[in-house]
A and B are shown apart, each in its own frame.
Chain A
Amino acid sequence: MVNKEKSMVIQKEMIANLFKELSTAKETGKKVVYTFVPGNLSELIHAFDMLPVYPEINALQSGMRKKSDSFIKEAEKFGHSEDVCTYVKCDVGMMLKGNIGPTGEKLPPPDLLLLSYTGCFTFMKWFESLEDLYPGVEIAMLHTPYQKDGEITKEMTEYMVRQLKEEVIPKMEKVSGKKYDESKLKLILENSAKTEDLIVKIFDTPKNIPTPIDAYFAGVYYIGPINIGFRGTPEAVEYYNELYKEIKERIKLGLGPITPEGEIKEEQFRLVVEGPPNWTSFREFWKLFYDMGAVIVASSYTKVGGVYDMGFRHNPDKPLESLGEYCMNCYTNLSLPQRIELLEKCIIDYHADGFLVNSIKSCNSFSAGQLLMMRKLEEKLEIPVGFIESDLVDPRYFSYANIKNRLESFFQMLEQRKLININ
C-alpha cells in the first residue's frame, strides 16, 4: 500500500473539519449555503462566515462509497425518471434517506440555495427539487451569461456585478444577519489568487517526462480543497504549497504518478481526457489505465471548478468583477471552440499521445458536442482519439467489459502509432 503523503493527511483533516462544522452548524448558529462547484462563490460565502455544502460533491462521494445505488433508487421512487442526471438523483435520495454526508455525519438543511448558473440547466431543476424538499428556504440565483463568442465583454461583467450587488449579496446579508464587508472579501481573494497560482503550477508539472502526477485520477483528489469551499482560505494555500513541494520532489527523483497499487514504473501512453470519471467503479476504471501504463497528463474535468490556465485569477482590487469573471470563465460555460482550444493546448503542451472522451450518458449539458470536439482535435492535431461512455454515479451504467474492450483497442491503437513513429 502507498504511504500517505503529508498533503493527503492535510486534505483529510480539512474535509473532516468542514463536515464536523456542518454537523454542528445548528448548535454554533452557522448558516449553511448549498451551491454548486462550477461558478461557486466560495469567497463570498466565507466573507459572510457561512458554510458551503456542495451536493454534486456529496453525490460523487456517495458513488465512491457505493451508496449511490440505493440513493438513486430512492429518488426514482420519489418520482425522478431514469434519464435524470444521476448526481441529482443521488443527492435527492441521500436527503430523503436522512441527509447523512460522506463522513457519516448528518448534514444540516440549507439556509440559502445559491444557484450560480454556469451552463448546466439541470442545476436549476435540481434546486427546484431541493426547494420542494426544504419549503421556505431562501434562494438566490446568479445568471452567468454564456461565452457565446468566446469572450467576456464589459457589459457581461457589469451584468454579473449588478446581480451580485442586487441579488446575491442582499440575500446573503439577510440569511447570515451580517453586513457585506468588502475589505474582508479582499483578504480572502488574495488567498484565492495564491491558491490558483499553485494549482496552475501543479497541473503544469505533467510537462515533465515522466509526468510526476496523473492529472485526472489523482487530479480529482488534488482539486478537492479548491472545489469544495476552501478556495480563499489559508488552509488551501498551505495544502497546495505542500502538494506542490511533494510533486517537485517527485520530479527531482524522476518518479511517475502514484496509483492505489504503487507508482507507475514505466509511462507508456500520455493522454488528455475530456469528461468526468466514473465514480462508482473509480478504482477499476483507474486500474484499466495504470495497468497499461497509461497516464493522464491533462483533463478538462479538473478545470470544472475554474479555469485558471488561461490567466484568470481572482483579484482583490476588483473583488466583485473578478467573482463575475470567474463564473463566466468556468469550463461548463465555455463555448465549444473555447473548449477545443483549451484541450488542444493541453495536448500540445503536455505531449499527449492520444485524446480520450469519457462521455456521461445522463449529462446532456456537458456531453453535447463532445464528439464534434473530438473530431476537430483529431483533424487538427492528427492524434489518435477514443470515445467511451459511462455514468457519474449510477452503477447500472458502468459496463466494465464494454469499457475494457474499448480501452484495450484504444491502447493497442496508440501502441501501433508509436511503433510507426519510432521507425
Chain B
Amino acid sequence: MNKYYLGVDLGSTTSKAVIIDEKDNIIGRGITNTRANYKVAADIAKLEAIFDARFNILESKLGSEIKDNPDSKKYINELKSVFKYLQFHKRLISLHTQLKQTISDIFENQKGKTISKHIDEIVNVIEPKIKYEFLTGNLGNKNQFFRDIISEKYNEQVEKLDKEFFESLMSVFDKSITPVENEMVEYDFQELVHDSISILNGKYENLKDKKDEDISLHFDAELNLLTGNINSISDSLKEHIEQIAKMEIHIANMVGTGYGRALLPFAEDCIKSEILCHAFGAHAVFPDTRTVLDIGGQDTKAIQVDSNGLVTSFYMNDRCAAGCGRYLGYVADEFNLSLNEMGPLALNAENEVNICSTCTVFAGAEIRELLNVGQQREDILAGLHRAIVIRAMSLIARSGGVRNEFTFTGGVARNQAVLKYIIEMVKDGYGNDIKINIHTDSIFMGALGGAMFARRNIPVKIPSN
C-alpha cells in the first residue's frame, strides 16, 4: 500500500493541508478559512486535501488517456466542480436549518414567521444560482470559501427586500453562520462522487435537447464535444472513478504548523514551527533558495535558509500587523472590494500615491483623506500595495537581506500588484541577477514543509537532499 504524508498549516486567515507521496510530490491540496474551531478548520482542510488527492490520483492513473482525449479531462474537471457543489449544498442545507432555528430563538411567533418566509425565499433563489455557477465553472476555481460565497449571495438578496427586514435578516445570518462553520460535516466520497456523476450526466443529457443559442449562453464551444458522447466517456471513466473512490489513502504520519499548531490534535513531536515549515517547503520546490519571504494573514516572515533547507535566521513583524494579508483585507473592506479585485485594480494605477501610514487602522483614515482630496482609487491602491512591500523589505533587511535565490510564499503571493513591487524592490535593492521564485502553490508552502517533515519523521531522521 502507498504511504502518504500530511502537513496541516493552521494560519490566522486560512488553514491549508497538503498530502505528499513518498517522493515528496504533492498529491493533494486542501484549503479553508480558519474559524473559531481550529480542529474543524484543520479537519476540513485535511478532508479537502484527501478528496483532491483522489482526483489527482485518478488523473495520473489515466495519464496518457487524458492527454489524448480532451473530453475525458473536461469531464473530470467538471466532475470536480459538481463534487464541490454537492459539498457546498450539504452545508447550505445545514445553514438553512440553523437559520430557522435562530429565528425561532430570537423572534416572537408572528415576526418569526415573516422572517422565516423571507429566509426560505432567499435560500430558494440563491441555491440554484450557486449551483449554476459551480456547474459552469464560474465559482469553483476562485478559492472562495463557504462563508464568502454564501454571504455575498445572501446580502444581494437582502438588499432587494424591504429595508424594514434588513437588520433582522442580517442578524439571523450573523448568528447562524458561525455555528454552521464550526460544525464538521461528514461526506462520503463514494456517495458524493456517484451523485456528481448523475448530476453531470443529467446536465449533458439536457443539453442535447436544447437549442444552440441557449447552450452558447452557458457553455463554451469546446464543451459541446461532450454533449455528443457523454455516455461513452462516463462509462469509460466509471471503473477508474470507482477504484479511486474505494482506494484507501493511508496517512502514515502528519505534522501540524501555523499559529494554531498547539491546538491541533497532534502529538507534540508532530508540531513544527511555521518558520521551519515554510522554509523547508520553499526549499523543496526551489532547492537553490536562500531567502524566503512569507506574507501571511497576520505575520510576515523573512527567513534565511542553508543548502539543506534548514533555517539559519529569521525575522518576523512584531506588535504590528500592518503589511500583512489582513491589512489588504481591511483596505478591501474600506473600498468595498473583494480581495481578488485589489491587485488588478492597483496595477491600473497611473499616478501611484505615497502612503505613509504604517498602521492598518490609520490607513483607513488616510484612505478617506486621500479620496477626499480627489485621488483615484487605483492610485491609492497602488500606494497601499507598495507600502506593504516596503515593510516586508525592511523585515528582509533585518533578517540579513536577500541571498540568491529568493522565494516568495504565502497567500499574499497571489496578489499581482504585491508581486510587481516585490520584484521591483528586490531587484532594486539586491541586484538584477537575483532569481525570484513564485509558485502557484505558494500558499501551501508551510503545509508542504510540514508534510515533508512528517515523511522524514523528524526529529528521528534528518532531512536529506
Contacts and interface: CB of A to CB of B under 8 A. Distances in A.
Interface of A: 371, 374-375, 378, 384-387, 389, 397, 399, 402, 405-406, 408-409, 412-413, 415-417, 419-420, 423
Nearest to B303: A409
B358 to A, nearest CB: 15
B400 A375 contact: yes
A399 B314 contact: no
A367 B458 CA distance: 36
A409 B273 contact: yes
Given A378-B400, A419-B459, A423-B462, A412 B272 contact: yes
A412 B273 contact: yes
Interface string B290-304: 000000000000000
Contacts of A415: 459
B312 A402 contact: no
Nearest to A371: B398
Interface stretch (B88-96, B180-188, B315-323): B315-323
Given A386-B313, A416-B462, A419-B462, A399 B273 contact: no
A389 B318 CA distance: 8
A419 B273 contact: no
Contacts of A419: 458-459, 462
A413 B306 CA distance: 11
A387 B308 contact: no
A399 B308 contact: no
B380 interface: no
Closest 7 A-B residue pairs measured CB to CB? A409-B273, A409-B275, A419-B462, A413-B311, A412-B273, A385-B313, A416-B310
9 contacts: A378-B400, A387-B313, A402-B319, A409-B311, A412-B272, A413-B311, A416-B276, A416-B462, A423-B462
B398 A409 contact: no
Contact of B312 (A371, A378, A412): A378
Contacts of B276: 409, 412-413, 416
A375 B396 CA distance: 13
A10 to B, nearest CB: 40
Contacts of B272: 412
Given A416-B276, A420-B308, A409 B314 contact: yes
Contacts of A408: 273
A386 B319 CA distance: 17
Nearest to A420: B462
Nearest to A374: B313
Contacts of B313: 374, 378, 384-387
A406 B316 CA distance: 8
Counting contact residues on chain B (CB < 8 A from A), the size range is: 20 to 34
Contacts of A389: 318-319
A386 B273 CA distance: 14
Nearest to A408: B273
Given A389-B319, A405-B316, 14 more contacts: A375-B400, A378-B400, A384-B312, A386-B313, A405-B259, A405-B273, A409-B273, A413-B276, A413-B311, A413-B312, A416-B310, A417-B310, A419-B458, A420-B308
A272 to B, nearest CB: 15
A94 B313 CA distance: 40
Contacts of B315: 387
B318 A416 contact: no
A385 B398 CA distance: 12
Nearest to B398: A371
Contacts of B462: 416, 419-420, 423
Contacts of A386: 313-314
Nearest to A418: B459
Contacts of B463: 416
Given A399-B318, A402-B318, A413 B398 contact: no
A386 B313 CA distance: 6
Contact of B319 (A378, A384, A385, A399): A399
B396 to A, nearest CB: 12
Contacts of B319: 389, 397, 399, 402
A409 B304 CA distance: 13
A423 B459 CA distance: 12
Contacts of B274: 409
A113 B398 CA distance: 39
Contact of A416 (B259, B314, B400, B458): B458
Contacts of A385: 312-313
Interface string B450-462: 0000000011001
Contacts of A416: 276, 310-311, 458-459, 462-463
B381 to A, nearest CB: 29
Given A371-B398, A375-B400, A378-B400, A420 B273 contact: no
A146 B315 CA distance: 31
B296 to A, nearest CB: 12
Interface in B422-465: 458-459, 462-463
Contacts of B400: 375, 378
Nearest to A416: B310
B393 to A, nearest CB: 15
Contacts of B318: 389, 399, 402
A402 B299 CA distance: 10
Nearest to A423: B462
Interface in B381-428: 398, 400
B459 A413 contact: no
A419 B462 CA distance: 6
A387 B458 CA distance: 24
A278 to B, nearest CB: 13
Nearest to A375: B400
Given A389-B318, A412-B272, A415-B459, A420 B398 contact: no
B303 to A, nearest CB: 9
B315 to A, nearest CB: 6
B446 to A, nearest CB: 12
A15 to B, nearest CB: 35
Contacts of B458: 416, 419
Contacts of B310: 413, 416-417, 420
Interface string B91-125: 00000000000000000000000000000000000
A32 to B, nearest CB: 39
B262 to A, nearest CB: 9
Contacts of A402: 316, 318-319
Contacts of A371: 398
A423 B400 CA distance: 28
Interface string B344-379: 000000000000000000000000000000000000
A409 B315 CA distance: 11
A120 to B, nearest CB: 23
Contacts of A423: 462
A374 B259 CA distance: 26
Contacts of B273: 405, 408-409, 412-413
B294 to A, nearest CB: 12
Interface centre among B259, B273, B310 (most CB of A within 10 A): B273
Interface centre among A385, A387, A409 (most CB of B within 10 A): A409
B129 to A, nearest CB: 42
A56 B245 CA distance: 69
B10 to A, nearest CB: 13
A333 to B, nearest CB: 26
B330 to A, nearest CB: 20
A406 B318 CA distance: 10
A232 B462 CA distance: 53
Interface string B273-284: 111100000000
Nearest to A389: B318
A91 to B, nearest CB: 24
A216 B198 CA distance: 69
B395 to A, nearest CB: 11
A388 to B, nearest CB: 8
A180 B313 CA distance: 54
Interface string B36-52: 00000000000000000
